[in-house]
Amino acid sequence: MGSFDNKIVMVTGATSGFGEAMTRRFVAEGARVIATGRRADRLDALAHELGAAVHPLPFDMRDNDAMAAAISGLPSELLAIDILINNAGLARGLSSAHEADLDDWLEMIDTNIKGLVLCTRAILPGMVTRGRGHIVNLGSVAGAYPYPGANVYGASKAFVHQFTLNLKADLAGNNIRMTSIEPGAAETEFSLVRFHGDQAKSDATYAGLEALQPEDVADAVIYAVSAPAHVNVNRIELMCTNQSFGAFVFTRDQN
Ligand code: NDP
Ligand code: 8X3
């Protein structure tokens, strides 16, 4: 018997990183997991490895019609989702705002903001009707602390932070819990994606850092969703011990 027996959890972005780790963890705890992402082969491999507790549901978060069709096609026994983990997301590029690729910016907005909002709006009404539910959103320290090149990525995660709190305000009295998980640098495919497949740049990001691991973030999620029913964990921020804050920059008169 696990702590999540008979619970239905939807994890977006389950094909790698945090989402895959959370899927493994929830299944180990007895939940049934609807696992989403674009790479259907990875979802199928996960289902093959973990068994019938995983229901692969491939779709692109940016495509409202594809998302709606996938969710409405869920088998009836998986429709009453108890926990939604809005994890799918990405950073693209690390250039200064005046040099950044506009397509990178739009992809982050479409995935991290629009996709997360669409998925929330698709699942939330059912939770309200059932009078129970928990939505966990993946924010980032980049949503709280600025750093050069984080421009749209950081702003998209600030949106996630505030959206989480604003939903909590909207949902007062509905027995829906809202949590924002806000990690620092974690070793996943995140940097490989940020640097458009440049493995050397990705490796350099994590070299010698002892970065957070996907399981560390899954632990934080499990903590939040395991809290007693009367406790809402609003926000968890975590960093690896070797990550810290930068100083303010002053540009001085050169004359
Ligand atoms: P990964 O790149 O390892 O995983 C990202 C997941 O998001 C993949 O499963 C990917 O699936 C999915 N995804 C991306 N775009 C889409 C899309 N258009 N449609 C459907 N699924 C999509 O990164 P992480 O596990 O690190 O990241 C997970 C979340 O955590 C993200 O929101 C990220 O911003 C956030 N985060 C990451 C940190 C880090 O340092 N790693 C720190 C703080 C927050 P697929 O490609 O198969 O579609
Ligand atoms: C990713 C964490 O510190 O690379 O959200 O911006 S960081």
Residues with CB under 6 A from ligand 2: 140-142, 150, 184-185
Whether 252 is in a domain gets the answer no
Pick the closest to residue 180 from 94, 244, 116 (CA basis): 116
Question: Is residue 59 in some structural domain?
Answer: yes
- Rounded distance between C-alpha atoms, residue 65 and residue 87, angstroms: 19
Nearest CA to ligand 2 atom 7: 185
Percent of the chain surpassing pLDDT 70? 99
What is d(CA 33, CA 206) in angstroms, rounded to the nearest whole number? 30
Task: Report which protein residue has its CA nearest ligand 1's atom 10.
Answer: 13
Give the mutation target among 18, 111, 141 for probing the ligand 2 site: most ligand atoms within 8 A of CB: 141
pLDDT of residue 2: 73
Determine the structural domain holding residue 202 and report its residue range: 8-238
d(CA 19, ligand 1 centre) in Å: 8
Provide block-wise average pLDDT over 10 residues at a time, the chain (255 residues): 88 99 98 98 98 98 98 98 99 98 98 98 98 99 98 99 98 98 98 98 98 98 98 98 96 85
Residue 50 lies in a domain: yes
Cα distance between residue 80 and residue 132, in whole Å: 10
Residue 136, both tokens: 């966990």
**Ligand 1, residues at Cβ distance < 6 Å:** 13-19, 37-39, 60-62, 87-90, 111, 138, 140, 183, 185-186, 188-190, 193
In a domain, 246, yes or no: no
Predicted structure pTM score: 0.98
Percent of the chain as helix, strand, coil, to the nearest 5: 45, 15, 40
Closest residue by Cα to atom 5, ligand 2, is 140
Reduce the DSSP state of residue 138 to 3 states and report it. strand
Residue 235 and residue 183: Cα distance in Å, rounded? 10
- CA 182 to ligand 1 centroid distance, Å: 13
Looking at the domain assignment, is residue 80 inside a domain?
yes
Give the residue whose CA is nearest to atom 4 of ligand 2: 185
CATH of the domain at 221: 3.40.50.720
**Residue 153 appears among annotated catalytic residues:** yes
Residue 1 has a pLDDT of 52
What string of H, E and C letters represents the secondary structure of 65-108? HHHHHHHHCCCHHHCCCCEEEECCCCCCCCCCCCCCCHHHHHHH
Provide the number of structural domains found in the chain: 1
15, part of any domain: yes
Amino acid at 143: G
CA 255 to ligand 1 center in whole angstroms: 46
Long-range contacts made by residues 190-196, C-beta under 8 angstroms, separation at least 24?
190/17, 190/90, 190/91, 193/90, 193/91, 193/92, 194/90, 194/91, 194/92, 194/93, 194/94, 195/94, 196/92, 196/93
Ligand 1, pocket-test mutation among 156, 190, 199, 237, most atoms within 8 A of CB? 190
- Measure the CA–CA gap between 70 and 128, rounded to whole angstroms: 21
201-222: per-residue pLDDT in tens?
A: 999 999 999 999 999 999 999 9
CA-wise closest residue to 32 among 19, 50, 58, 17: 50
Which of 138, 156, 187, 198 is the pocket-test mutation for ligand 1 (most atoms within 8 Å of CB)? 138
Answer yes or no: is 2 within a domain.
Answer: no
Contact 176, 135 (CB under 8 A): yes
- Rounded to whole angstroms, the Cα distance separating 57 from 63 reads 14
Does 254 reside within a domain? no
| Distance, CA of 93 to CA of 102 (rounded, Å) | 10
Rounded CA separation 124/132 (Å): 10
